[in-house]
Amino acid sequence: MEMWLKEAQIKDAAMTYKVKETLVRKKTNYQDLTIVDTEAFGRMLLLDGIVQTTIADEYVYHEMITHIALNTHPNPEKVLVVGGGDGGTIREILKHSSVQKAVLCEIDAEVIKECKKYLPEISCALEDERCEIFIGDGIKYVHEHKNEFDVIIVDSTDPFGAAEGLFGGSFYREISDCLTKGGIFVAQTESPFYLPDVVKRVYKDAKDVFPITKLFMAGIPTYPSGFWSFTMGSKKYDPENADISDKPELETKYYTKKLHKACFVLPKFVENLTC
């Protein structure tokens, strides 16, 4: 008998995946957690029925949410990840030799536990000595750590339910206070095709806080529309003007130095969301 998983994050559209096996399904203190093995994308993590990451295409998301910011900053030493319990963002951060400490602030310990078990290719750097794991509320953590991090990455689930507080002006002001004087913030900010109002609102909220605010794009097959936005806020360094010629070449599958600047060239309908 064939099994198909239907993801209906968007009200009027859905994605379906042929499932080989359900590896784990549980109700945590915060959400429904499921990991399945699919025919097309390999093992896949879902939270509250929404695809978070897959073995086949995770590198796009994790490389783009990480390397744009870390290569823009001249010397990122301390990095905070809010969310991101699968560990992929930490893995990419620790490819940068300048990083002395990377803190993963994840509210749901079960995500980390199950990803270590079933998604080791993604979570492999969580045991690195430079990685510190903090289980707790990311908003509270940011509030309690002032002027501490060079880069903050908000690797959150979608802006509904528990993650809603991670999208908005008040949190971005807290992030600004948590960053050092040349600090950079980046977050995943949804599909401009399906959720243009979210993209526009988040960009405006970030622009109200950060003197340099930029939107950039990446193609992620398992995310709705396959066309995904990220928003960067920077106190000092402009990612489009950054001299990255001397930055070491990283082992990547998607990100390149040429793409670093090219990803800021937006289609007209996306550019209009930043006006």
Residue 1, pLDDT score: 72
In order of start, what are the domains of the chain with their CATH numbers? Answer: 3-54 (2.30.140.10), 58-274 (3.40.50.150)
Residue 69, pLDDT score: 98
Residue with tokens 């507080």: 165
The string of pLDDT tens digits covering residues 76-115 is 999 999 999 999 999 999 999 999 999 999 999 999 999 9
- C-beta of residue 89 within 8 angstroms of C-beta of residue 155: yes
The string of pLDDT tens digits covering residues 225-240 is 999 999 999 999 999 9
Distance CA 96, CA 75 (A): 10
Global pTM value: 0.95
Q: What is the pLDDT of the chain when averaged over all its residues? A: 94
Question: Could you tell me which residue, 12 or 197, shows the higher pLDDT?
Answer: 197
Residue 114, pLDDT score: 98
The string of pLDDT tens digits covering residues 117-166 is 999 999 999 999 999 999 999 999 999 999 999 999 999 865 555 445 55
Distance CA 48, CA 104 (A): 21
Distances, alpha carbon 234 to alpha carbons 105, 111, 125, 182, 224, in Å: 21, 30, 26, 7, 27
Longest pairwise C-alpha distance within the chain: 58
Name the active-site residue from 155, 158, 197, 238: 155
The string of pLDDT tens digits covering residues 49-75 is 999 999 999 999 999 999 999 999 999
Residue 214, pLDDT score: 98
Residue 164, pLDDT score: 53
Proportion of the chain above pLDDT 70, given as a percent: 95
Active site residue 32: no
β-sheet with 42-47: strand ranges across: 3-7, 15-27, 32-38, 42-47, 50-54
